[in-house]
Amino acid sequence: MSFKGGWLNIKEENYTEADALLRYVLRLGDDALITGQRLAEWCSKGPVLEQDIALSNMALDHIGRARLLYKYAADLAGDGKTEDDFAYLRDTQEFRNFLIVEQPNGHWGDTVTKLMCLDTYNFYLFDGLTKSADAQLAGIAQKAIKEITYHAQWSAEWVIRLGDGTEESHQKVQASLENIWPWTGEMFEVDQVERMMDEAGISVNPESIKDAWNTKINQVLDIATLKRPADCWMQTGGRKGVHSEHLGYMLAEMQFLPRAYPDAKW
Amino acid sequence: MGETHSLEERFQQYVEAENKVEPKDWMPEKYRQTVIRQVSQHAHSEIIGMQPEANWITRAPSLRSKLILLAKVQDEAGHGLYLYSAAETLGIDRSEMIEQLQTGKAKYSSIFNYPTISWADMGAIGWLVDGAAIQNQVMLCRTSYGPYARAMVKICKEESFHQRQGYEIMMHLAKGTKEQKAMAQDALNRWWWPSLMMFGPSDENSPNSAQSMKWRIKRKSNDTLRQEFVDKTIPQAEYLGLTVPDPDLKWNEERKSYDFGEMNWDEFYEVVKGNGPCNKQRIENHINAHNEGAWVRAAASAYAEKQAARKKSTAA
Amino acid sequence: MTDKSNWKIWEVFIRSKNGLSHKHVGSLHAPDAEMAVKNARDVYCRRSEGVSIWVVPSEQITASSPDEKEPLFTPSDDKVYRHPTFYDIPDEVGHM
């Protein structure tokens, strides 16, 4: 069973609320899956054993959330698709995750900085989603918010440790921050899906998250003795299925087995 | 002179009476060194063992299997940590143990020097390698050194999920498509003998076995454990409809046990010596992760020191 | 190559359910208390076995000498283990 067009071919302006909801749930699932997949790459490579375990825990959280979201999407699609169909049988243009989550892990500083940006965003997003008009989404958010809170604390603490650690760590993490900054803007974009979901009381308006996010990030960077990067041109495209070169490689690795053995059940 | 001699005798009586030795108890120096060596090498095995399995996390063929594999590898990290902690109670530092591992002074289970080249290897490792480990570990729950025994109890509780996970993968493949079944058979062909070698050389060729048994560090002989493992595993292979790659395998009605073929001890000693397919890469990965993480650990230490100083000055 | 950035050892105590006492479950390495607690949750509560976590730097624990009736035990050593870094050896003495 694979996706052969169909659901992709509906034009934005013709979305029904159901179309928008399916897409909304899927993009959240994609964010979670790709984040989890990147975190899983750290397994056995962490700077200290205890942190290896911490990262694996977080990867499990993200991938677990992806499953819940994909299962819900499968229900919404209502045509017999499964969570694994969404994860393993879509090509890059059908994935709608943010560009930031597919950026490579880099070194420890790069990873915790990226996570801080993402986790802080997720915290405000999922906190809002606990009050979603969509009961399923609210339920998923209620399950997720506890672990997301933990993630946001964890990554902020690490940015602080590195920012206010040694001269070397300070320089490294400042560079990490400058490098990831152009990918943070996408998180606050409002497109047709976001507009419709917001109107229906289902989602949280990204622009409303932006203020809270900026305040929190500034607070953390201040404690970390780090400089907030200057405003810059923000990268975009993930929500439209226009990805960086990284996603193709990630999917090739992730999807290899079901695609190589299409008759097999995995 | 007479004092020490009687201390050792008393220690021997103490462990023979199934008492636990705790960190601050008197113990023969050789006992302490033996336990440090065994526990740290056990820890190293868990940590190095993460690599061949972590190899397949990003390629797991379903979200559920990805989660299960990730959880399993995370468990192994945790087990390594329990064991490093237990070893530290005897006066060795974790960084010292890491150095021993990276310089080859300390060993780890040789099985992890083999490559994982198909998804079926995840099944075979869980079923056979964890299966063999469990055989050993259940025995170690009764080991004489307290912290080691307690770590083993915790590990055993978590380990049964690992073997079940592996066997479930094997079942799924063995009853799947032709290609999947072939994948499973191929994995069994490659992992069977190395799994038997996990129990180590025959006891007559194992120099430390006798003393370890005396001190109740080790509770059963290598050969006994290996035989138990074979007897337990053959029916499991039969259930899968797979063939164990041993032409000499035969049920012995008299012993009520399986006779099995001779192991390739040349290969065993070569791999232990460092000439296995993956020895270099396993250690290199460990060294690289450790070295690349040095600045991170240093930063965290520096920050902690700054925080402590700040607390002191605000309190003053 | 000994790592100069040795993190401290922390002992971990977990209360797995209300009504029970905290139980010593093991130890871990961390540079500060926040990380120690988080690590303890990650390592010792992976199957959600914890309601309350205590972490204490090992060096802060004072231990009794085992019963003096038993001559097997060395007296007057109030550290938790035989850990070498618990003992402050002056630099002039050299590596020990």
* Interface contact flag, A166 B300, Cβ < 8 Å: no
d(CA C63, CA B301): 27
d(CA B7, CA B31): 13
Q: Is B298 at the interface with chain C, CB within 8 A?
A: yes
**Segment among A224-233, B108-117, B237-246, C70-79 with least mean pLDDT:** C70-79
Q: Tokens standing for B244?
A: 């164990």
- Residues of B with Cβ-Cβ distance to C2 under 8 angstroms: 93, 95-96, 99
Q: Which residues make beta-bridge pairs with B282?
A: none
Do B62 and A84 touch, CB atoms closer than 8 A? yes
Q: Tokens standing for A13?
A: 């302006």
* Interface contact flag, B24 C32, Cβ < 8 Å: no
d(CA A195, CA B306): 47
d(CA B142, CA B85): 18
Higher-confidence residue of B223 and C96: namely B223
Chain A to chain C Cβ contacts (< 8 Å): 26
Minimal C-alpha gap between A93 and chain C (Å): 36
Give residue ranges of C with CB < 8 Å to any A CB: 7, 28-31, 34-35, 38-39, 42-43, 46
Q: Is A150 at the interface with chain B, CB within 8 A?
A: no
Convert A135-153 to b/e letters by CB count within 10 Å (16 or more is b).
ebbeebbeebbebbebbbe
Residue C60 has pLDDT above 80, yes or no: yes
Q: What's the pLDDT score for residue B219? A: 76
- Residues of C with Cβ-Cβ distance to A157 under 8 angstroms: 34-35, 38
Do C66 and B24 touch, CB atoms closer than 8 A? yes
Predicted confidence band at A3 (pLDDT cuts at 50, 70, 90)?
Answer: very low
Q: Which residues make beta-bridge pairs with B21?
A: B145
Q: Output the CA angle A266-B160-A71, nearest 5 degrees.
A: 35
Do B212 and B140 touch, CB atoms closer than 8 A? no
* Interface contact flag, C38 A154, Cβ < 8 Å: yes
Q: Among A48, A49, A54, whose Cβ lies nearest the Cβ of C38?
A: A54
Q: Among C29, C31, C39, whose Cβ lies nearest the Cβ of A54?
A: C39
Kindly report, residue by residue over A61-109, the tens digit of the pLDDT: 999 999 999 999 999 998 899 999 999 999 999 999 999 999 999 999 9
Residue C7 has pLDDT above 70, yes or no: yes
Average pLDDT (A204-221) is 96
Closest residue in A to B282 (Cα–Cα): A44
d(CA A216, CA A40): 27
Orientation angle between helical segments A167-180 and A108-129, nearest 10 degrees: 50
* Interface contact flag, C38 A57, Cβ < 8 Å: no
Q: Tokens standing for A203?
A: 């989602």
- Residues of A with Cβ-Cβ distance to B57 under 8 angstroms: 40, 43
Q: Among A50, A150, A161, whose Cβ lies nearest the Cβ of C28?
A: A50
Q: Among B62, B176, B303, whose Cβ lies nearest the Cβ of A165?
A: B303
The residues near A251 (Cβ < 8 Å, ≥ 6 apart) are A91, A92, A95
Q: Alpha-carbon Rg of chain A, whole angstroms? A: 18
Q: What's the pLDDT score for residue B5? A: 59
Do C25 and C14 touch, CB atoms closer than 8 A? yes
Query: What is the ipTM, given to two decimal places?
Result: 0.95
B-facing residues of A in 225-254 (CB < 8 A) are 250, 253-254
Do B144 and B217 touch, CB atoms closer than 8 A? yes
* Interface contact flag, A154 C46, Cβ < 8 Å: no
Token look-up 């035969």 returns B250
Q: Is B263 exposed, middle or buried (0-12, 13-18, 19+ CB in 10 A)?
A: middle
Q: Is C17 at the interface with chain B, CB within 8 A?
A: no
Residue C90 has pLDDT above 50, yes or no: no
d(CA B61, CA B68): 12
- Residues of B with Cβ-Cβ distance to A162 under 8 angstroms: 296, 299, 303
Count of CB atoms situated within 10 Å of the CB of B135: 20
- Residues of C with Cβ-Cβ distance to B10 under 8 angstroms: 72
Q: What type of residue is C34?
A: E
- Residues of A with Cβ-Cβ distance to C10 under 8 angstroms: none
Do B144 and B15 touch, CB atoms closer than 8 A? yes
Kindly report, residue by residue over A128-140, the tens digit of the pLDDT: 999 999 999 999 9
Q: What's the pLDDT score for residue C3? A: 53
| Helices assigned H by DSSP within A105-263 | 108-129, 135-163, 167-180, 192-199, 206-223, 245-260
Pairing of strands B257-259, C8-15: unpaired
The count of C-alpha atoms lying within 13 angstroms of the C-alpha of C27, restricted to the half-sphere facing its C-beta, is 25
The residues near B204 (Cβ < 8 Å, ≥ 6 apart) are none
- Residues of A with Cβ-Cβ distance to B295 under 8 angstroms: 166, 168-169, 172
Q: Tokens standing for B111?
A: 């099985």
d(CA B18, CA A154): 44
Average pLDDT (C34-61) is 86
| Helices assigned H by DSSP within B175-264 | 178-197, 209-214, 222-240
Strand order in the sheet with C52-57: C23-30, C8-15, C52-57
Element (H, E) at B312: helix B294-315
Residue A6 has pLDDT above 90, yes or no: no
Minimal C-alpha gap between C92 and chain B (Å): 21
d(CA B58, CA B52): 12
Average pLDDT (A257-265) is 96
Q: Which residue, among B66, B46, B47, has the nearest Cα to B56 in the 3D structure?
A: B66
Q: What type of residue is B24?
A: K
Q: Which residues make beta-bridge pairs with B145?
A: B21
Helix-, strand-, coil-residue percentages of chain A, each rounded to 5: 70, 0, 30
- Candidates B85, B101, B158, B303: best to mutate against A (most CBs of A within 10 A) is B303
Q: Is B252 exposed, middle or buried (0-12, 13-18, 19+ CB in 10 A)?
A: exposed
The count of C-alpha atoms lying within 13 angstroms of the C-alpha of B268, restricted to the half-sphere facing its C-beta, is 16
Render each residue's pLDDT in chain B as its tens digit; 316 residues.
445 558 888 899 999 999 999 998 889 999 999 999 999 999 999 999 999 999 999 999 999 999 999 999 999 999 999 999 999 999 999 999 999 999 999 999 999 999 999 999 999 999 999 999 988 888 889 999 999 999 999 998 888 889 999 999 999 999 999 999 999 999 999 999 999 999 988 877 777 777 888 888 777 889 999 999 999 999 999 999 999 999 999 999 999 999 999 999 999 999 989 999 999 999 999 999 999 999 999 999 999 999 999 988 887 6
Q: Which residue, among B240, B256, B278, B250, has the nearest Cα to B127 in the 3D structure?
A: B240
* Interface contact flag, A165 B50, Cβ < 8 Å: no
Chains contacting B (3+ CB pairs below 8 angstroms): A, C
Average pLDDT (A141-169) is 96
Do A169 and A162 touch, CB atoms closer than 8 A? yes
Do C32 and C44 touch, CB atoms closer than 8 A? no
For chain B, the straight-line distance linking the first and the last C-alpha, in angstroms and rounded, comes to: 54
Predicted confidence band at C92 (pLDDT cuts at 50, 70, 90)?
Answer: very low
Phi, psi of A43 (to 5 degrees): -55, 125
Element (H, E) at B230: helix B222-240
Element (H, E) at C35: helix C33-44
C-facing residues of A in 156-185 (CB < 8 A) are 157, 161
Q: Which residue, among A74, A85, A262, has the nearest Cα to B62 in the 3D structure?
A: A85
Task: Report DSSP state, residue B145.
Answer: B
